[in-house]
Amino acid sequence: MREIWKEYPKNKRYLVSTLGRVQGRYKNGRLHLLKCTQDRNGYMIHKINIDGRMKSIQAGRLVAETFIPNPRGLSDVNHKDENKANNCVDNLEWMTHKENCNYGTIKKRISETSKKAWAEFKAYRMARETALFLCHESEAKAI
């Protein structure tokens, strides 16, 4: 995919690319590539100035707001391949929060996590019951 740059609609000092990169414009007009960091949830974020305040905005949201029309006013930006670092315009889409929560393999991943937690709990319970049984058995022999 060819990288295309376009002004960010909420602040014309920033250019956003179709690959998820962001450039800032100095007062003299020179451009510089902004660094992105990863937030605690794994999303790539950029710190940009909006209405005189620095805000951390996810790269996917910047790309979607710049390149993808949102006529229905949907709230969430979804990564089609579920890779939070892939912020290419082809990988993003607008959807409702409910749709985003139910998208892809999330239910499967939650189910697997729940199964693992349940198995760990059963193993703990079995070990505890065995320890209590052995404790009672040794007390009975002592009497």
For the chain, give every domain's residue range: 5-101, 106-143
pTM across the whole model: 0.72
Q: How many angstroms separate the CA atoms of 81 and 106, rounded?
A: 12
Q: How many residues make up the chain in this entry?
A: 143
CATH 3.50.50.60 assigned to domain 5-101? The reply is: no
Residue 63 is encoded by which pair of tokens? 């790309």
Task: Strands of the chain (E only): list them.
Answer: 5-7, 14-17, 22-25, 31-33, 37-38, 44-50, 53-58, 76-79, 92-95
The partner residues of 57 in beta bridges, in order of sequence, read 46
pLDDT single digits (tens) 36-60: 999 998 999 999 999 999 999 999 9
pLDDT single digits (tens) 105-115: 665 656 666 66
